[in-house]
Amino acid sequence: MNKKRKMFIRMIVASLVRRRSRMIVALLAIIVGATILSGLGLIYFDVPRQMSSQFRSYGANIIIAPESDGDVSYEKLQKSITYFPSNELEGYTPYRYENSKIHNMPVTLAGTDLGSVLKTSPYWHIDGELPAKNGEALIGAKLAESLGISKGESVSTVNTFEITGEMESIDIPDYEKYTDPETGETHCDHTLDLTISGILETGGSEEEYIYISLEDVEYLTLSKRGYDIVEVSVASIKDKLSEYTEKISKDIDGIKAKLVKRVTASESSVLSKLQALVFIVTAVVLVLTMICVATTMAAVIAERRREIGLRKALGAFNSSIVGQFMGEGLLLGAVGGILGSVLGFLFAQYVSQHVFSSPITFRPLLIPITIVASVIVTGTACLMPIKSAVEVDPALVLKGE
Amino acid sequence: MENLLELKNISKIYGGLKALDNVSLNVRKGEWLAIMGPSGSGKSTMMNIVGCLDKPSTGEVFFDGKDVSKESGKKLTELHRDKIGLVFQQFHLINYLNAVENVMVAQYYHSMPDEQEALEALERVGLKDRAKHLPSQLSGGEQQRVCIARAIINSPQLILADEPTGNLDEANENIVLDIFRRLHKEGTTLVVVTHDPEVGEVAQRIVRLEHGKIVSDRENEHFTD
């Protein structure tokens, strides 16, 4: 570094360090601006991930179903699940629906994986417990009311089969065979005794089903088949979710994955509004920072008119005066940007912990962006005050006029 | 002796007021000239024109034989940067730079800053041991000596001093005048603007201004080099 550049830096640093009481207001304004920029920037980019996790409490956002008639086989389900990154997959729950009877009233049984059901339906409110083993059932509140069933009660669910053709020769244990006197058809009834472990309250259509294990459904229906529907909960943004569903539908024959529009559309709408809000707040803060820095620099330059006059009298060209003050402003911007980047991360971390209850993802790229933005904002704010600095007449100011 | 500075029929008009009225003056190389006069006599205006900080409304200014009265602002800046050293009544030191840095500022705009040379300039005015002190830590006399060190650092052809002892006590006034004597001996041309007779009477030549006109121009018969 040549001596001239060294002296330039020496003057700028001396001006900021030895006149710190004057420059502290400008520096504070830049730090606040950079903190907000960096902090809200981190939140802006992290909000989709954070909100996606939050939205998962409203239920699954992807449904996998058979393309037409048929079902989703276990193998196809396992294959489709591999399309979701493990760090985004919150859970999935398969459902198999069957008709049955309780107290001679038709009911719909939903066989499911009771261990994973709360991962895709965390909003379920259960009065009692989830079924812990086969032979236990969770009943929807509406159905329980119409059947007059309460928690802890035992009920029998009955499936009736018509025995035809080859089935007549099959000896089915535990099944009660009988002939309908009116039609002459042979039927058998199979009964599954269930203990109601809890009542499900959601306020929605879920209250019209009885939830039992998949094994119990297979036992009751005497058949093993795939699933009617699979609910999947994935913590990701809408575009990526659409990408996953398109790939699954395209790659795996016979099944179709689709977004739960009710969830993803509202999620997308809230996200875009939140991001717009963060963007506007950041822009407003940056403008206010610029005004504050410009005001402070204008005051600083007014205060240093004699120094400017002296520098001109010593032979400084206008470009040197601009260089001196712009150098001070840009150094101030860089220092404010560096401090603001650190404080911004702490600010974002605090907000994230208190609003989303999870840590913020650190994005190193935001550090240079914050520093460059601070330098640009400060430089822009300095332009007008510096313009007045070059207009100083040395002959007048050195005489104290 | 050859003229360093020639003012020919200089007038300076501010609004309707004539600060200088058809003034002509020659300053010889190596001469020590005092410009004296009461407040409002036009001393400061003349100093600004001599120091190339301002242009006359009419008339011509020749510096080292070259007409500079029509030069652009940039050329004038180069001229007072390269050939003129300024000493002010108010010292005008940059308050956040220490003594040696204040001297180096003049080098910075002139050519290349050199701390060693700046320290030598401070040594010439007897302030080397105060080189790292800020202006606020120096007395008025010390600040004026830093101002002189800054004025001489680039070896100018002309030292232009505006009321250089105006804010000093007698002891410091004598120190400053001794420095001027030394500079004069070394061949530096000195133009000192003052209203203080004691300061004016030590100069080689004394010009008196009143109402923008030269009313007397005499050699100082008591001048001792």
Rounded (to 5) percent helix, strand, coil in chain A: 55, 20, 25
The backbone torsions φ and ψ at residue A365, rounded to the nearest 5 degrees and listed phi first, read -60, -25
Q: Inspect the interface and report whether the beta carbons of A315 and B112 lie closer than 8 Å.
A: no
Would you call B45 helix, strand, or coil by DSSP?
helix
Would you call A138 helix, strand, or coil by DSSP?
strand
Beta bridge partners of residue A127, listed in sequence order: A199
A141: confidence class by pLDDT, cuts 50, 70, 90 = very high
Would the pLDDT of A396 be above 80? no
Would the pLDDT of A177 be above 80? no
| B18, part of any domain | no
pLDDT at A347: 93
Judgement on whether residues A236 and A318 belong to the same structural domain of the protein: no
Judgement on whether residues A17 and A158 belong to the same structural domain of the protein: no
> Which residue, of A214, A237, A259, is where some domain finishes?
A259
Domain count, chain A: 2
Task: Find chain B residues with C-beta within 8 A of A397's C-beta.
Answer: none
Output the average pLDDT for chain A: 87
Q: How far apart are CA B94 and CA B74, in angstroms?
A: 23
pLDDT at A59: 82
Comparing alpha-carbon positions, the chain A residue that sits nearest to B106 is A314
Structural domain of A97: 60-259
**Residues B18/B210, Cβ–Cβ less than 8 Å:** no
A168: confidence class by pLDDT, cuts 50, 70, 90 = low
Alpha-carbon Rg for chain B, nearest whole angstrom, is 17
Measured torsion, CA atoms of residues A121, A125, A128, A132, in degrees rounded to the nearest 10: 0
Comparing alpha-carbon positions, the chain B residue that sits nearest to A394 is B53
Walk across the sheet containing B17-28 and list its strands.
Answer: B17-28, B3-14, B58-63, B66-67
pLDDT at A350: 93
Task: Find chain A residues with C-beta within 8 A of B96's C-beta.
Answer: 14-15, 18-19
Residues 50-79 of B with CB under 8 A from A: 51, 53-54, 74, 77-78
More confident position, A251 or B90: A251
| CA pseudo-torsion sign B103, B105, B109, B112 | positive
| B63, part of any domain | no
More confident position, B19 or A166: B19
Judgement on whether residues A40 and A103 belong to the same structural domain of the protein: no
State in Å, rounded, how far the first CA of chain B is from the last one.
17
Structural domain of B169: 27-46+72-219
Judgement on whether residues A222 and A99 belong to the same structural domain of the protein: yes
pLDDT at A196: 94
Measured in angstroms, the CA of A353 and the nearest CA of chain B are apart by 44
Judgement on whether residues A116 and A152 belong to the same structural domain of the protein: yes
Task: Count other Cβ atoms within 10 Å, centred on residue B11.
Answer: 16
Q: Inspect the interface and report whether the beta carbons of B105 and A11 lie closer than 8 Å.
A: yes
| B119, part of any domain | yes
Task: Count other Cβ atoms within 10 Å, centred on residue A393.
Answer: 16
Q: Inspect the interface and report whether the beta carbons of B109 and A316 lie closer than 8 Å.
A: yes
Local confidence pLDDT in tens for the 225 residues of chain B: 688 999 999 999 988 888 899 999 999 999 999 999 988 888 888 888 888 888 899 999 999 888 888 888 788 888 888 999 999 888 899 999 999 999 999 999 999 999 999 999 999 888 889 999 999 999 999 999 999 999 999 989 999 998 888 888 888 888 889 899 999 999 999 999 998 888 888 999 999 999 999 999 999 887 776
| CA nearest neighbour of B141 among B159, B161, B126 | B126
Domain count, chain B: 1
Judgement on whether residues A67 and A206 belong to the same structural domain of the protein: yes
Judgement on whether residues A133 and A208 belong to the same structural domain of the protein: yes
Picking from A2, A7, A315, the nearest residue to B80 by CB comes out as A315
Judgement on whether residues A15 and A77 belong to the same structural domain of the protein: no
Would the pLDDT of A179 be above 80? no
Judgement on whether residues A34 and A99 belong to the same structural domain of the protein: no
| B13, part of any domain | no
- Report, as an integer, the average pLDDT of A275-291: 86
| B181, part of any domain | yes
Judgement on whether residues A79 and A40 belong to the same structural domain of the protein: no
> Which residue, of A203, A233, A259, is where some domain finishes?
A259
- Report, as an integer, the average pLDDT of A340-358: 90
| CA nearest neighbour of B50 among B67, B66, B63 | B63
More confident position, A357 or A140: A140
Q: Tokens 């100069």 correspond to what residue? A: B203
Would the pLDDT of A170 be above 60? no
A359: confidence class by pLDDT, cuts 50, 70, 90 = confident
Judgement on whether residues A127 and A236 belong to the same structural domain of the protein: yes
Distance from chain centroid for Cα A262: 16
Q: Establish, for the pair of chains A and B, how many residue pairs have beta carbons separated by less than 8 Å.
A: 71
pLDDT at B137: 95
Judgement on whether residues A67 and A203 belong to the same structural domain of the protein: yes
Walk across the sheet containing B158-162 and list its strands.
Answer: B84-87, B158-162, B189-194, B32-36, B205-210, B213-219
| B97, part of any domain | yes
| B197, part of any domain | yes
Task: Find chain A residues with C-beta within 8 A of B97's C-beta.
Answer: 11, 14, 18
Distance from chain centroid for Cα A152: 39
CATH number at residue B181: 3.40.50.300
Q: What is the pLDDT of residues A191-238, one digit of tens each?
A: 888 999 999 998 888 999 999 999 999 888 888 889 999 999 988 888
Measured in angstroms, the CA of B48 and the nearest CA of chain A are apart by 6
**Residues B32/B186, Cβ–Cβ less than 8 Å:** no
> Which residue, of A259, A292, A310, is where some domain finishes?
A259
Q: Which helix (H) or strand (E) holds A339?
A: helix A318-351
Task: Count other Cβ atoms within 10 Å, centred on residue A163.
Answer: 18
pLDDT at A175: 64
Picking from A10, A19, A314, the nearest residue to B109 by CB comes out as A314
Residue A301: burial class (beta carbons within 10 Å; 0-12, 13-18, 19+): buried
Picking from B101, B105, B112, the nearest residue to A314 by CB comes out as B105
pLDDT at A323: 93
Comparing alpha-carbon positions, the chain B residue that sits nearest to A306 is B92
